[in-house]
């Protein structure tokens, strides 16, 4: 990056995706931007050991749990999978409930709910094996307004968040890594998210989706900054970059620059350095910087992830 930034130390990206192939290109670009460790959600079948041995000291691996089994309340294979995770080299489990998951899985029961008691053994198994869960529930408000208007099919954001809250409530000893600011970076949602943070010491957040964070937190810098200051020990930098998505170096650079401008600078009205489809027709996304102090940036980019997940092996 040609610009100069407040923080120039190492960066831990707590939210990336890999699929075995093309990891090399990803790492090469990341290193140019100071990303020296990362959580990789592994979508391959072979396990992570080959990638780990190629890049020692870099990766903490998350295993993507079978959504098809979960969707049909088939808990036994999922529990077996959880039992094998650590031996296979995974440190955490991942599951994904962006509302459009219902487009991908066949015959999802219409009343499916992640807090259904039938799924409890899965969360219990994670808790018993001390396996943190990176769980994505919900999506941006903008998606509910455009892609998920069919409420009968997709449900409401209010309901999705309430389901997740009930799951967290039942498992005070399970570490929940909630990506995308727990789907609540929208300014009007920050008070609820703060309530969760106060109520549940076992949740941490990541800042994945640079455009979502930039778009929403920029809308009112003061409460956004206050939130980041208050919960500075429990927010982890993340991008959601994926090794298998077609993206060149400038795509990566745009994501890093957007977040650096958001967290580190006091910029006003700076255009997001790539297109945000959600605001494309309404003037585009702009960044207003939060100008966080260096002590907070050090935690956000590095120290929190290392404290929680340890130095990658
Ligand atoms: Zn992701």
Question: Distance, CA 28 to ligand 1 centroid (Å)?
Answer: 20
Q: Tell me, what's the pLDDT at 21?
A: 65
Q: Smallest Cα–Cα separation from 221: which of 178, 264, 160?
A: 264
CA of 15 to the centre of ligand 1 (A): 6
Q: Could you tell me the maximum CA-CA distance found in the chain, to the nearest angstrom?
A: 52
pLDDT at position 176 is 98
Model pTM above 0.95: yes
Q: How far is CA 267 from CA 29, 258, 285, 292, in A?
A: 26, 11, 13, 12
> What pLDDT score was predicted for residue 312?
96
Report CA(173)–ligand 1 centroid distance (Å): 24
Write out the two tokens for 66. 């079978």
How many other CB atoms are found less than 10 A from the CB of residue 110?
A: 9
Task: Please give the distance, rounded to the nearest whole angstrom, from the Cα atom of residue 16 to the centre of ligand 1.
Answer: 6
Q: Per CATH, is 11-309 categorized as 3.20.20.140? A: yes
Which residues lie closer than 8 Å to 46 by C-beta, 6 or more apart? 20
Question: Ligand 1 centre and the CA of 203: distance in Å?
Answer: 17
Instruction: From first to last of the 313 residues of the chain, give the pLDDT tens digit.
Output: 568 999 999 999 999 999 866 799 999 999 999 999 999 999 988 889 999 999 999 999 999 999 999 999 999 999 999 999 999 999 999 999 999 999 999 888 988 999 999 999 999 999 999 999 999 999 999 999 999 999 999 999 999 999 999 999 999 999 999 999 999 999 999 999 999 999 999 999 999 999 999 999 999 999 999 999 999 999 999 999 999 888 789 999 999 999 999 999 999 999 999 999 999 999 999 999 999 999 999 999 999 999 999 999 9
CA of 213 to the centre of ligand 1 (A): 14
How close is the Cα of 240 to the center of ligand 1, in Å? 5
Beta carbons within 10 angstroms of residue 98's beta carbon: 20
Alpha helices in 129-264 (DSSP H): 141-146, 151-154, 157-170, 179-183, 190-199, 210-217, 221-230, 249-264
Residues 6+ apart with CB under 8 A from 4: none
Question: Could you state, in order of their start, the residue ranges of all structural domains in the chain?
Answer: 11-309
Contact call for residues 208 and 240 (beta carbons, < 8 A): yes
CA 168 to chain centre: 16
Task: Compute the distance from residue 135 Cα to the ligand 1 centre, in Å.
Answer: 9
Of 43, 90, 14, nearest in space to 244 by CA: 43
pLDDT at 246: 82
Query: End-to-end distance of the chain based on CA atoms, in angstroms?
Result: 28
């Amino acid at each position: 990056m040609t610009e100069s930034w407040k923080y120039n130390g190492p960066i831990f990206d707590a939210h990336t995706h890999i699929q075995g192939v093309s990891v090399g290109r990803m790492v090469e670009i990341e290193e140019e931007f100071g990303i020296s460790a990362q959580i990789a959600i592994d979508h391959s079948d072979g396990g992570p050991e080959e990638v780990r041995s190629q890049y020692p000291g870099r990766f903490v691996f998350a295993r993507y749990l079978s959504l098809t089994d979960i969707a049909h309340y088939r808990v036994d294979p999922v529990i077996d999978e959880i039992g094998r995770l650590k031996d296979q080299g995974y440190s955490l489990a991942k599951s994904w409930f962006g509302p459009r998951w219902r487009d991908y899985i066949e015959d999802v029961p219409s009343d499916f709910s992640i807090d259904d008691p039938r799924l409890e053994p899965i969360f219990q198994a994670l808790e018993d094996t001390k396996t943190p869960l990176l769980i994505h529930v919900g999506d941006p408000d903008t998606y509910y307004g455009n892609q998920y208007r069919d409420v009968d099919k997709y449900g409401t954001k209010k309901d999705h968040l309430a389901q997740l809250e009930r799951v967290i409530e039942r498992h005070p000893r399970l570490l929940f890594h909630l990506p995308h600011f727990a789907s609540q970076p929208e300014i009007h949602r920050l008070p609820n998210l703060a309530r969760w943070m106060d109520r549940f010491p076992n949740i941490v957040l990541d800042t994945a989706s640079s455009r979502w964070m930039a778009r929403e937190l920029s809308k009112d810098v003061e409460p956004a900054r206050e939130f980041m200051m208050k919960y500075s020990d429990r927010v982890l930098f993340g991008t959601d970059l994926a090794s298998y998505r077609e993206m060149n170096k400038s795509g990566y650079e745009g994501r890093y620059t957007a977040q650096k401008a958001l967290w580190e600078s006091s910029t006003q009205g700076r255009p997001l350095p790539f297109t945000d489809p959600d605001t494309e027709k309404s003037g585009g996304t702009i960044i207003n910087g939060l100008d966080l102090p260096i002590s907070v940036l050090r935690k956000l980019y590095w120290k929190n992830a290392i404290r929680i997940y340890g130095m990658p092996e």
